[in-house]
Every structure is written in C-alpha cells, then in structure tokens.
Amino acid sequence: MTETTQETAVTETTQVTDGAVSETATAEQPVSKPSSIAEALGVETPAPEATPEIEYTDFSLPEGIAMDDGYITSLKDFGKESKLPQEALQKLVDLRVEGDKALLKSWDEAKTEAMKAEAQAWKEEVQKDPDVGGAKLPATVAGIDKLFAKVDPSGELKDAMMESGAMLRLPFIKFLSAISQQFADDSIDGTTTTTVAAEKKTYMGLEL
C-alpha cells in the first residue's frame, strides 16, 4: 500500500516468511515540487533577454566650464551600475555645476573682503606715519604725483602700481617721497613736462 502527501511519499511493504506475514518499516521518499505554475503545467518559458549596456553621450556644460575626466568616467560607471538614463546623469552634472559656482562665488567674496581689509590697514599705516602721513600727507602725495608726471608721462607705471596695491604700502610711499624731493622743481636735466589730467586708479577702491 502506498500513500502520497504534499511533502513525502510513505511506502509500506509486507513480506511473507515461512507462512507468516510481517511488515517492514515504512520509508519516506521526498516528492519534488514544481518551481512555478508554468513548470507545473508543463509550459516552457523563454529565457529573459539580456539588457543592453547603457552608452552615455557627452554631457552639456555651460560655456567656459569643464569637468575632470576622472569625475565624468566615475559618473558614467555609476549610471551604468544603477541603470540611470542620460537625463538623470545630466541632472547630476547640472547640480554639480551649480554647487561649484556657489562655492567659487563664496570664495571670491571672502577673498575680496580680506583684500579690502588689508588695503585699508595699509592706508591707515601711511596716514599715521610721522614722516609722510598726517598733516604731511597732502604734500607727500603731491610730490609723488609730480614725480610720476616727469618720469611716467603716460601714467601706465603709476596705474600698474596702484592696481597692484604697491601705492598704498608705507615703505614704497617713503621711497617715492624721498625721490620726489630730489626733483622738487618742474624740470629734469633742463627739460620740462606737461601734466595731463587722467582718471585716477585705485586699489580695492582706495587711494591716498
């Protein structure tokens, strides 16, 4: 006699020996189960098609903006692993660009403020100096202006020094003031110069 359940098949056997009937121990045998409805019904299912690897085109960047090749490669690898479309990665690139712009703007503003504070400290140092500052400052500046009018008629040298901040440094002002006193008159080697009024250059918005 054989009985079958969902889990196992139980088999009982009998044996006749010398006219006597004896029963052997029952044995349990595992029964295989179908893994799916299709298998249970005997229907063959086609193997799933392999998904083609995503290939990304170049990302759109604002004019004048470039990104490190290593970062772009890492971004594309991440996109392939996560199966992200081109549009999703482009959004990540856009966010990175905006973040970098904000960081650079913040850095530039902080740098500019630090330079302004430094220039203001230089100017105050000149104004407080007993030799060229204080009540003597107007005469010091006038003497330096005359010196440049003689040796730099185009004003290019003075403008460059002003824009670099050198014209606000006390050691440089003292140096120029000493030279200007050697040429207190309006001529050098018997020549005369004509001063041409020009727009004054400043450093960080400051001038003496």
Dump pLDDT digits (tens) for 108-136: 999 999 999 999 999 999 999 999 999 99
Domain ranges of the chain: 2-30, 59-116, 129-192
On whether the CB atoms of residues 140 and 134 are closer than 8 A, the answer is no
Task: Enumerate residues 6+ apart whose C-beta is below 8 A from 142.
Answer: none
Report how far residue 24's alpha carbon sits from residue 134's, in angstroms, rounded to the nearest whole number: 124
Rounded mean pLDDT of 177-193? 66
Element (H, E) at 162: helix 156-164
On whether the CB atoms of residues 100 and 145 are closer than 8 A, the answer is no
Report how far residue 184's alpha carbon sits from residue 205's, in angstroms, rounded to the nearest whole number: 29
Structure confidence by residue, pLDDT tens digits, 75-113 = 999 999 999 999 999 999 999 999 999 999 999 999 999
Report how far residue 175's alpha carbon sits from residue 185's, in angstroms, rounded to the nearest whole number: 18
Token pair for 88:
């999703």
Rounded mean pLDDT of 2-6? 43
Token pair for 168:
């606000």
β-strand pairing of 187-188 with 20-23: unpaired
Phi, psi of 80 (to 5 degrees): -65, -45
On whether the CB atoms of residues 208 and 173 are closer than 8 A, the answer is yes
